[in-house]
Chain A
Amino acid sequence: MECRLPFSLVVFCLVILSSTVRSELVISSVEKWVDLHSHIVRVVSFLKVENQGPYDVSEFVLAFPDAQAKNLATMLVIYLEEGKIIYSEFPINSTKPKSKQSNMTFYPVTLPKKLEKGKTAGLDVYVVLTNLLKPLPKEITQAESQLLVYTDNIYYTSPYHIRNQSIVFRLPGRIESYSEYSEMRLVESELRYGPFEEQPPFSYSPVVVHFENNNSFAVASNFVQEIEISHWGNVQVTEQYTIIHGGAHLKNGFSRIDYQANPSMSGASSFRTLVARLPPMSHSVYYRDEIGNISTSHLRGDSQGTQLEMELRFPMFGGWKISFSIGYSLPLHDFLFESDAGNNVLNITFGSSIEEIVVENQIVRVVLPQGSKDISVKSQFPTKKSQELKYSHLDIVGRPVVVLEKDNVVPEHKRYFQVYIYYKFNNIFLLGKAMMLILGIFLLFLMCILYMHADLALSKTSSWEEETEGRK
């Protein structure tokens, strides 16, 4: 068994082991599944943790190399005791050791229940990583398939001793090449390494998988969602996307005749459509960009939701960019509730409605009705929050806008997390605009009446008029 652990890391591990991590914990077995089907890497690790020390343990530390931690979009930990789910989803904060040489980031997990000595518990760690699949070669022609490279540690990166472990890569198709190890098996599209026995903490040995992946590599470099609340009963959602094909760049230009003649062979890595899942009861859907409406789209609705199939203006090849916006209206009563204190509670879903897309930077702007007060936001993951004003139709003081910003958003955010916005709003303000319009039209009529009755002539008789009268 080869072990290419840098010396500094070893030293560092010793430091760690002696300080934060209780070495009494041992991982008796771990199986890591790496799903490489799309451009989002999803890793599930099934751990069995055994407490061999003399004390009860309440904290477990997860470790990730910095390269992964930087691109870690979301993490979910499920704690199992004797096969039953005890608790899932607990708050995780990352800690970074002060030592500069470290290339690890630690995530201490406070266990919901102390692990008693001698006992074993299960931990399922679900991690979503982005930006880790690198195209190789970096440039391909239209006829070629897209090949991606994924690099990982063949051993489970952990500050604990691991007795038995294995890693499985689930691949979408053909494998170009992969690291050779003695314990490995390739069955159809599953590449399995292991089992490896008795590995010390922070064992490291690289594994590289080079494989074909033609799934749409859609990355939204910028996504701005504006949710406008009207207490007349409508929510207007506008989503602006700038989408980049993050895969291998296109070489030698785009040939339409090849693309048309044999769509399956040519431009396999490109994508032409994106599917957005809109909430149920969506209506007045539009799909347009800076230069006008895009007429190629289909809308299907069922009780689960509305599905908007957008055909882009042009097929997206590697490195190409496109921006567009979609918008839809929703009934307000599905999103707005009243809390006990007389507050309005707005419950919004964070994340993009487009399926299987990585959002590098998401900005959500919630436009509350004019006159809203005491605004507070509660979200279940860290976001940058700020407030501004927006002036829309017939606004005098402006509508308060809650701005939430978050980097690296994946579809998982949408499923599990929600954002609550509390605010106070007096319904009497609803009448304000109607009254304004009525008053405006009334003033217009009043001015007309005044004008009709006013005599603005300087003198009653004009010499010219007399002359013309005389002529007639």
Chain B
Amino acid sequence: MGATSVASPAPLNSAPSSFPSLKALKFTTKQQELLIRVSALALIYVLAFVVRLFSVLRYESMIHEFDPYFNYRTTLFLTKNGFSEFWNWFDSESWYPLGRIIGGTLYPGLMVTAALIHRILHFFSFAVHIREVCVLTAPFFASNTTLVAYFFGKEIWDSGAGLVAAALIAICPGYISRSVAGSYDNEGVAIFALLLTFYLFVKAVNTGSLAWSLASAFGYFYMVSAWGGYVFIINLVPLYVLVLLVTGRYSMRLYVAYNCMYVVGMLLAMQIRFVGFQHVQSGEHMAAMGVFFLLQVFYFLDWVKYILNDIKLFHSFLRITLTCAITVGVLALSIGTASGYISPWTGRFYSLLDPTYAKDHIPIIASVSEHQPTAWSSFMFDFHILLFLFPAGLYFCFKRLSDATIFVVMYGLTSMYFAGVMVRLILVAAPAMCLVSSIAVSATVKNLSSLVRAKSKSPQGSGKPLSGSKAAAKASADQSLPFQKNGAIALLLGALYLLCRYAIHCTWVTSEAYSSPSIVLAARGHGGGRVIFDDYREAYYWLRQNTPPDAKVMSWWDYGYQITAMGNRTVIVDNNTWNNTHIATVGRAMSSYEHEAYEIMLSLDVNYVLVVFGGVTGYSSDDINKFLWMVRIGGGVFPVIKEPDYLVNGEFRVDKGAAPKMLNCLMYKLCYYRFGEMTTEYGKPPGYDRVRGVEIGNKDIKLEYLEEAFTTSNWIVRIYKVKPPKNRW
């Protein structure tokens, strides 16, 4: 796809040959170019949607992973009960017995978007189920993102680069990973909102138009309503303004764009309850406010300079004003921080600036796999040739420096840093990579093709707006004719090859790695056929159908959202990890002896305990492998739980050599209850754990306070019922 769109500006004369009827209409070159551009864009739009449907074709139209289930549940609530109910929703089904104020603790953008699409479709009398809308929201917004990328590319470079950017981002694996059909998560719409805000802001800076900056403020509002990643915008934009100030690129356009965007955007963002007054109270947002005041000072100084007309006088005035301004700023900040009015940076923000912070201080952030620092391989996996094109694009950007290219360079560099810190932020870097790479591709191909074309008709072809670099290229081309032409052709073919490889790689990655719903597991059977493990849904459905409606289920927090959404039962903790103590209590229960855990479970009113166990199937992300995090998180709050008690010489074992506390803690007992009688693999003793690859150490597990209630067909989910307390007499 990349290749066809790259070639679009070139074949100006040959296009209508396949349309005999169109030949009669006699398009001008400009019209032909428009036609090709629009049709290429339309194809890219469709492609971006279609490539994300692998999971629907391979599995079914379903919601994926963990967080999307919460989003789906809330969307369902929103469509059923209306916005005002949704906004004031107190959910007693999660975080028992605390509950959760849903309206005040979530970013409603995604749900409102889906509900709106649902309502519009119903208005046009398309009776679509809300689930289908939710499943297809992410691909739909990915398609829209390609349009934004096109306009963005057009704004910073030219329409050719825009087309390439649209094509690259349509299939960029880093972006696809979070926007396949079914991954109904905030990021799906947030990347669209992010790019839209950036584009509109750059447009506002380029034109100085109030309308564009107002539009970008609204884009920012949408972003704030959709994802916590808006903090990136509110820090990058002031940083960009600062850089423009420092490099002497201050202009009235910048002043208008930033002030309007910041003030209106801030006011709008305050309407989101979850964000509230953070824009004026939180340390993470102070940079934007500082730059806002700095701009005013700058403007004021500019004005004074204009009034004074005396350099010397102005310099002394400048000194006084700057000292005053800085003193006032520092004073205000320190007083605000000291008095607690301005909250300090949150742990997540710290962990972005210092990757080792979370590991030492906040185990709950460190325990999430997507918060880990990124491995090199995943950069290669998610970006492929963009990794090489990115520096080349930076080179072109620096060669033709403008306000817009400075922005995209800064966006690229900062997001690359964040992508290195956290795996999930590769997503934020993906649009920047695509934009910068598209400049590289477009500029290179344009230069090369002009070289090739210059040979055949050298007097022509100077009607292009791009003159400087091309003229130079043409001049050099005139000096050594035959060699350069062949070289250019070879390089063009090389570029084509690279882009083809990119397309193939993206398709492969999408189909193999990013299209699995993770709620249904698939494996290759002995005969090569596909075996489906649908254990999660089996267990959740059993909970939904065969437990009392007010039953409380205790599980590790990973499964909280799924249990509430699919099982429709109250959970103790879920994926919204807002209360560390509560999670630590569950971690403590899981890592205590059964009778101690029973006390905790009784105090939490728990009726059922759910554990995930992969020992039979070899499903490695089960609770035993997550167990050390439970111990760490539990131990972080309750010092009774000590990590060394569960380790033998610093090693985590479940076999005979395991620590005695490990062999008798609740989690071990629940996972391995009666597993010792089971033969999992031919030629191995009974009780052979296929994930850990060992025979378990405690085969004679007796449960005193719990009883097995349900185990799924592949043992992946096991549910136990907590027995009622015994009578004392």
Contacts A257-B678, A391-B127; A289 near B541 (Cβ below 8 A): yes
In the assembled complex, A254 has its CB within 8 A of some CB on chain B: yes
Distance in angstroms from A199 CB to nearest chain B CB is 48
When C-beta atoms are compared, the residue in chain B nearest to A468 turns out to be B207
| Contact mask for chain B residues 534-550; partner A; CB cutoff 8 A; 1 contact, 0 none | 10011011101110000
Q: Is B712 an interface residue (CB 8 A)?
A: yes
Q: Chain B residue with minimal CB distance to A467?
A: B208
Find chain B residues with CB under 8 A from A320 CB: 545-546
Contact partner of B711 (CB less than 8 A), chosen from A252, A254, A392, A440, is: A254
In chain B, what residue has the closest Cβ to A243? B545
The reply on A313 being an interface residue by CB < 8 A is: yes
Whether A465 is near chain B, meaning CB under 8 Å from some CB there, is yes
* Cβ of B209 under 8 Å from chain A: yes
The reply to whether the CB of B699 lies closer than 8 angstroms to some CB of chain A is no
Q: Do B566 and A313 have beta carbons less than 8 Å apart?
A: no
Contact B541 A396 (CB under 8 A): no
Q: Is there contact, CB below 8 Å, between B208 and A464?
A: yes
> What 1/0 mask marks residues of chain B from 234 to 250 whose CB sits below 8 Å from any chain A CB?
00000000000000000
Contacting residue for A253 out of B62, B545, B709, CB 8 A = B709
Query: How would residues 315 to 345 of chain A score, 1 for a CB under 8 Å from any chain B CB and 0 otherwise?
Result: 0000011110000000000000000000000
| Interface check A388, CB cutoff 8 A | no
Query: A395 at the A/B interface (Cβ < 8 Å)?
Result: yes
Give chain A residues whose Cβ lies under 8 Å from the Cβ of B545.
320-323
User: Which residues of the partner chain B approach A252 to less than 8 Å between Cβ atoms?
Assistant: 707
With a CB–CB cut-off of 8 A, which chain B residues contact A393?
125-127
Task: Decide if B532 touches A295 in the complex (CB within 8 Å).
Answer: yes
Per-residue CB proximity of A290-334 to B under 8 Å, as 1/0?
A: 111111100000000000000001100000111100000000000
**Min CB gap A392→B, angstroms:** 5
A368-399 interface code vs B (CB 8 A; 1 in, 0 out)? 00000000000000000000000111111000
A256 within 8 A of B: yes
- B710 sits at the interface (CB 8 A): yes
Question: Separation in Å of the A369 CB from the closest CB of chain B?
Answer: 15
Q: Which residue of A lies closest to B720 (CB)?
A: A253
Contacts of B532 on A, CB cut-off 8 Å?
295
Most buried by B among A255, A391, A396, A440: A255
User: Do A464 and B209 touch (CB < 8 A)?
Assistant: yes
In the bound assembly, the distance between CA atoms of A335 and B542 in angstroms comes to 38
Contacts of A440 in B (CB 8 A): 124
In the complex, the answer to whether A314 meets B707 with C-beta atoms within 8 Å is no
Q: Does B713 contact A (CB under 8 A)?
A: yes
What is the interface residue range for chain B against chain A?
35 or more
A186–chain B nearest beta-carbon distance, Å: 38
Q: Which of A314, A440, A462 has the most CB of B within 10 A?
A: A314
Within 8 Å by CB of B710, from A254, A295, A464, lies A254
User: Is B60's beta carbon under 8 Å from chain A?
Assistant: yes
B367: which A residues are within 8 A, CB to CB?
none
Partner of B537, one of A257, A261, A313, A396: A313
B595 in the interface, Cβ–Cβ < 8 Å? Answer: no
| Closest A residue, CB atoms, query B718 | A256
A218–B262 alpha-carbon span in the complex (Å): 64
Query: Which of A256, A291, A465 is the one whose CB lies under 8 Å from B540?
Result: A291
Q: Once the chains are docked, how many angstroms separate the CA of A465 from the CA of B127?
A: 46
A468 near B206 (CB under 8 angstroms)? yes
Given contacts A394-B125, A464-B207, A464-B209, contact A313 B542 (CB under 8 A): yes
Of all chain A residues, the one with the shortest Cβ separation from B542 is A314
Instruction: Give bound CA distance, A462 to B545, whole Å.
Output: 66
B167 to chain A, nearest CB (A): 24
B207 contacts A465, C-beta separation under 8 Å: yes
In the bound assembly, the distance between CA atoms of A300 and B506 in angstroms comes to: 39
Q: Does any Cβ of A come within 8 Å of B512's Cβ?
A: no
Question: How long is the Cα–Cα vector from A465 to B677 in the complex, in angstroms?
Answer: 80
Rounded to whole Å, the gap between the CB of A446 and the closest CB of chain B is 17
B537 pairs with A254, CB closer than 8 A = no
Instruction: Tell me if B158 is interfacial: C-beta within 8 Å of chain A.
Output: no
CA distance A407 to B715 in the complex (A): 39
Min CB gap A468→B, angstroms = 6
Closest to B675 in A: A257
- Chain A residues lying within 8 Å of B546, measured Cβ to Cβ, are 320-321
Highest count of chain B CB atoms <10 Å: which of A261, A295, A323:
A295
Contacts A255-B711, A321-B545, A396-B125 known; A293 to B62 CB distance under 8 Å? yes
B253 / chain A contacts, CB cutoff of 8 Å: 464, 467-468
Would A313 and B538 be within 8 Å (CB), given that A393-B127, A465-B207 are in contact?
yes
Q: In the bound complex, what is the Cα–Cα distance between A256 and B673 (angstroms)?
A: 11
Please report the C-alpha to C-alpha distance between residue A296 and residue B538 in the assembled complex, in whole angstroms: 11
Given the complex, which residues of B lie within 8 Å of A293, measured CB to CB?
A: 60, 62
Question: A256 contacts B62, CB within 8 Å?
Answer: no
Given contacts A254-B709, A256-B713, A293-B62, contact A468 B208 (CB under 8 A): yes
> Which residues 281-295 in A have Cβ within 8 Å of B in the complex?
289-295
Q: Counting CB contacts under 8 A, is B708 at the interface? A: yes
Q: Which residues of B contact A313 (CB under 8 A)?
A: 534, 537-538, 541-542
Q: Which residues of B contact A467 (CB under 8 A)?
A: 208, 252-253
In the bound complex, what is the Cα–Cα distance between A237 and B709 (angstroms)? Answer: 36
Question: 1/0 contact trace for B191-228 toward A, CB 8 Å?
Answer: 00000000000000011110000000000000000000
A153 to chain B minimum Cβ distance, whole angstroms, is 37
List of A residues within 8 angstroms of B692 by Cβ: none
- Contacts A256-B712, A257-B677, A322-B545 hold; do A292 and B209 have CB atoms under 8 A apart? no
Contact status B538-A314, CB under 8 Å: yes
B209 touches A256 (CB 8 A): no
| Complex interface: chain B residues within 8 A of A321 (CB) | 545-546
B674 at interface, CB cutoff 8 A? yes
**Which residues from A are CB-within-8-Å of B541?**
289, 291, 313-314, 322
Contacting residue for B566 out of A291, A314, A323, A391, CB 8 A: A291
Residue pair A253, B707 in contact (C-beta under 8 Å): yes
Interface hits, B688-729 → A, CB 8 Å = 707-713, 715, 721
Cα A461 to Cα B382 with chains together (Å): 46
A395 engages B715 (CB within 8 Å): no
The CA-CA distance from A313 to B714 in the complex, in Å, is 12
B70 to chain A, nearest CB (A): 14
Residue of B126, B541, B566 with most partner-chain A CB within 10 A: B541
Q: Which residues between 446 and 472 of chain A lie within 8 Å of chain B, taking CB atoms? A: 462, 464-465, 467-468
> How long is the Cα–Cα vector from A396 to B711 in the complex, in angstroms?
49
Complex Cα spacing A396 to B127, Å: 12
- Nearest B residue to A322 via CB reads B545
Q: Which residue of B lies closest to A395 (CB)?
A: B125
Task: With CB as the reference atom, state the residue of chain B lying closest to A244.
Answer: B545
Which residue of chain B has the shortest Cβ distance to A462 in the bound complex? Answer: B209
Question: How far is A421 from B542 in the complex, measured between Cα atoms in Å?
Answer: 39
Query: Which chain A positions have C-beta within 8 A of B674?
Result: 255, 257
CA–CA, A295 to B535, complex, Å? 11
Q: Which residue of B lies closest to A464 (CB)?
A: B208
Nearest residue, chain B, Cβ from A321? B545
Subset of 16 A-B contacts with CB under 8 Å = A253-B707, A254-B709, A255-B674, A257-B674, A289-B541, A290-B544, A291-B540, A291-B544, A313-B537, A314-B712, A321-B545, A321-B546, A391-B125, A393-B125, A467-B208, A468-B253
**13 further interface pairs, Cβ-Cβ under 8 Å (given A394-B126, A468-B253):** A252-B707, A255-B711, A256-B711, A261-B677, A291-B537, A291-B541, A294-B534, A314-B542, A314-B712, A321-B546, A391-B127, A393-B125, A467-B252
A-B residue pairs, 7 tightest by C-beta: A256-B711, A293-B60, A291-B566, A321-B545, A392-B127, A253-B707, A292-B62
